[in-house]
Structure 1
Amino acid sequence: MTSQPITEDDLQAHVDGRLEARRDVEVRAWLAAHPTELARVEALARQRAQLRAVLAPIAEEPIPPGLRVEHLVGRSHRQWANGWQTAAAVVLLLIGGAGGWTLHGQMGPARGIAALAREAADSYSVYAPDRMRPVEIAGTERAQLVAWGSERLNRPVSIPDLSSLGFRLLGGRLVATPHGPGLLTMFEDGSGTRLVMLTRPMTIDQNRPMSEEVDGAIGSVTWSRDGLGYSIAGALQPERIHPIADHAREQLTES
């Protein structure tokens, strides 16, 4: 039993190796009892390790003369922001461990539609491969899932019917994002191919047309309307997801 609830900050600190020993033991025990969160944390730890491995040769290179302390003393903030100094700051940020959490796929946190697409791809990576408990509420409880999502997102949400395209609703769950809770719904066709749709409120890009993204092997189509963002993601090329997203958007616009 933990002394206090396990938070997302605890999980991030655990991945970065920054937790004090007693708290780390509590986090490990909690993860052992929550296999879905354990899978997510392990995936993020792998991303962090891969990033550090890629950047290790850069970190071991000799410091360029222009970056040595004696050459930097007395320079203005603007000079620091230019040239080699900026490159050094970026490398230090990456190697410092921020990459696995805020720089997955690019050198800066995504915002708006781009952030939503990344969150949908990450959610797909964590939950779609799970064959034991990919969702919290089954698709047969659609009304309950809609009510739960609407309450937690603090606005009405809908779930499209993709059965005419061969995808049945498996169910859904709430997921945490850097921008608040999101409703993740999952669909599966007769061959076992799964898609997820992440829905959450948007603080920016509140009305944006569809855009396609590719994140490794995961494609997505993302858009927003009236302050709600939607991203459909799966292990398919975006051009194959786009007709499905068009069908979903048509229903969501009518609801």
Structure 2
Amino acid sequence: MSRPISEDDLNAYIDNALPLARRLEVEAYLERNPDVAARSAVFGVQREALRSVLGPIAAEPVPPQLNLTHLAASRRRRDWGGWRAAAAACLLLLVGGASGWMLRGVGTEQRVGINALAQEASYAYAVFGPDRGRPVEIAAADSAALVRWVENRLSRQIAVPDLTAAGYQFMGGRVVATGNGPAGLLMYDDAKGGRIAILMRPMVQDQNASMAEHREGDVFGYAWADNGMGYSLVGGSDNASLLHPLADEARRQFRART
């Protein structure tokens, strides 16, 4: 029998550090626990944001004054420099604490309606869009099975837009957990490996909403709702300029097929 899912498992899942078997167990657990899934998605987005900001700093060479030889020599000197170092350390702690306090609310604000859908789509794309190992659960070759799975979970009829004329091939998809219940996630890529995704789920609020642009970090998108079903087409900064016409075409096909 599998052991219970722990916080260590969730952190390793966010870091893509789990063996495949355990990763599948965690994904099944997140599907059954949408609140935990939403929290984990937020942490994943925050991790990528911190990496993008702090990565260049971490890559810089260590300053000469901080090498071990210099630090050992400084420690032997019983002068006022020790107090300055202590003061600097305190300052770093204060700055770090203040940064943590400011970051505590990043991505955690409660959104509703079409804004919640947009945020959920951004989080799902941030998790699965860059995944080169398992971006989809069911491949395009089994699209009929994927459609049945999503329709059963959403209790709604769905369609898979054909975006090949715009240069994007359907890769497949999966069911993902959100704070508002299960959602279907369809993934597409182009000849250069650029990816876009469409998230869809039933709407309690904003059951009919005009298309609106949204952005969450480096994820861009357009969200809308028709007849109680919400959609958001999302992608990265590399294809942001293409997203609006792609969203228009996807909406046209959804309206024609559902």
Q: Give a deviation string over 1:150-187, Cα, whole Å, max 9, x none.
A: 00001111111101111010000000000000000000
Unaligned segments of structure 1, at least 5 residues: 16-29, 61-90
SS of the residue 1:254 aligns to: helix
Residues 1:249 and 2:251 are matched in the alignment = yes
Cα displacement (A) at 1:56: 6.1
Distance 1:3 1:128, change over 3 A: closer
Larger mean CA deviation between 244-253 and 124-133 belongs to 124-133
SS of the residue 1:169 aligns to: strand
Q: How many residue pairs were aligned?
A: 200
Partner of 1:205: 206
SS of the residue 1:115 aligns to: helix
Q: What CA distance in whole angstroms lies between the structure 2 residues aligned with 1:192 and 1:160?
A: 19
SS of the residue 2:214 aligns to: strand
Task: Tell me if the contact between 1:186 and 1:196 (Cα under 8 Å) persists in the aligned partners.
Answer: yes
Q: What CA distance in whole angstroms lies between the structure 2 residues aligned with 1:158 and 1:117?
A: 19
Q: What CA distance in whole angstroms lies between the structure 2 residues aligned with 1:241 and 1:148?
A: 26
Q: What CA distance in whole angstroms lies between the structure 2 residues aligned with 1:11 and 1:184?
A: 25
Amino-acid identity (%): 38
SS of the residue 1:161 aligns to: coil
Q: Give a deviation string over 1:44-73, Cα, whole Å, max 9, x none.
A: 1672795xx9x964966xxxxxxxxxxxxx
Task: Tell me if the contact between 1:202 and 1:228 (Cα under 8 Å) persists in the aligned partners.
Answer: yes
Distance 1:14 1:35, change over 3 A: closer
Report the RMSD for the aligned CA atoms in angstroms: 3.7
Partner of 2:43: 44
Partner of 1:153: 154
Partner of 1:121: 122
Matches for 1:142-181 after TM superposition, within 5 Å: 142-181=143-182
Partner of 2:70: none
Task: Tell me if the contact between 1:167 and 1:188 (Cα under 8 Å) persists in the aligned partners.
Answer: yes
Distance 1:200 1:43, change over 3 A: closer
Distance 1:145 1:56, change over 3 A: farther
The AA in structure 2 aligned to 1:126 is: V
Matches for 1:1-255 after TM superposition, within 5 Å: 1-2=1-2, 6=5, 32=19, 33-35=21-23, 41=40, 44=43, 47=46, 57=95, 95=101, 99=105, 103-104=106-107, 108-236=109-237, 238-255=240-257
- TM-score normalized with structure 2 length: 0.66
Task: Tell me if the contact between 2:128 and 2:135 (Cα under 8 Å) persists in the aligned partners.
Answer: yes
The AA in structure 1 aligned to 2:142 is: E
Task: Tell me if the contact between 1:213 and 1:238 (Cα under 8 Å) persists in the aligned partners.
Answer: no
Unaligned segments of structure 2, at least 5 residues: 12-16, 28-36, 55-92
SS of the residue 1:141 aligns to: helix
Cα displacement (A) at 1:200: 0.5
Q: What CA distance in whole angstroms lies between the structure 2 residues aligned with 1:224 and 1:12?
A: 37
The AA in structure 2 aligned to 1:217 is: D
Larger relative CO (CA 8 A, sep 6+): 1 or 2? 2
- TM-score normalized with structure 1 length: 0.66
The AA in structure 2 aligned to 1:226 is: N
Cα displacement (A) at 1:240: 2.2
Q: What CA distance in whole angstroms lies between the structure 2 residues aligned with 1:224 and 1:184?
A: 15
